[in-house]
Amino acid sequence: MTPGEDFVARLEARGFDFFTGVPCSLIAQVLSALERGVRGVYVEAVREDEAVAQAAGAYMAGRKPVVLMQNSGLGNSLNAIVSLNQIYRQPFLLVVTWRGFEGKDAPEHLVMGEAMPAILDAIRLPWEVYAHDRIDAALDRVEARFTERRPSALVIPPGVFEGHA
């Protein structure tokens, strides 16, 4: 089982059953697992804010949503997060990758790579950097935020979902 497959399996075991997003190569393993088939719903969104809004609808319909995106899409999704999910109290797990991590990446990722922590803090979206050996503790915290009806984020740096477990 790859780390990506394990991640999806653990999410499903905790009842996450609606997955939507726009791809990033840093989570290709996770997306492959979703594409191979999940018990719940998997939607390929055209834009990151669309995925966040789908999660809002799915939550109201009784699902436990996960939104996946590259951090280049975080800007695209801000209005949905702050004027829909946060104020309407429609929680979701945001899995967002860290392109531009430590300032090492292509030019289009460098500003967001540096700004992302401050952006997440500014909109008061709880987040933590994900590591596979801390998965259960991290998901416990995500579920605690869910109980409070707040979105929260797991930020995926390079290398986490590569190779085999």
Would you tell me which residues interact with other proteins (CB under 8 A)? 18, 20, 41, 43-47, 49-63, 65, 79-80, 82-84, 87-90
Least Cβ distance, residue 31 to other proteins (angstroms): 17
Q: What's the DSSP call for residue 85?
A: I
Q: What's the DSSP call for residue 102?
A: G
Residue closer to other proteins, measured from CB, 26 or 95: 95
Residue closer to other proteins, measured from CB, 29 or 85: 85
Least Cβ distance, residue 108 to other proteins (angstroms): 20
> How far from 85 is each of 19, 21, 42, 57, 105, CA to CA, in Å?
16, 15, 19, 9, 31
Please state, in angstroms and rounded to a whole number, the distance separating the CA atoms of residues 95 and 106.
21
Least Cβ distance, residue 70 to other proteins (angstroms): 17
Residue closer to other proteins, measured from CB, 42 or 130: 42
Least Cβ distance, residue 138 to other proteins (angstroms): 25
DSSP 126-161: -EEE--GGGHHHHHHHHHHHHHTT--EEEEE-TTTT
Which residue, chain included where needed, has tokens 């986490």?
160
Residue closer to other proteins, measured from CB, 63 or 99: 63
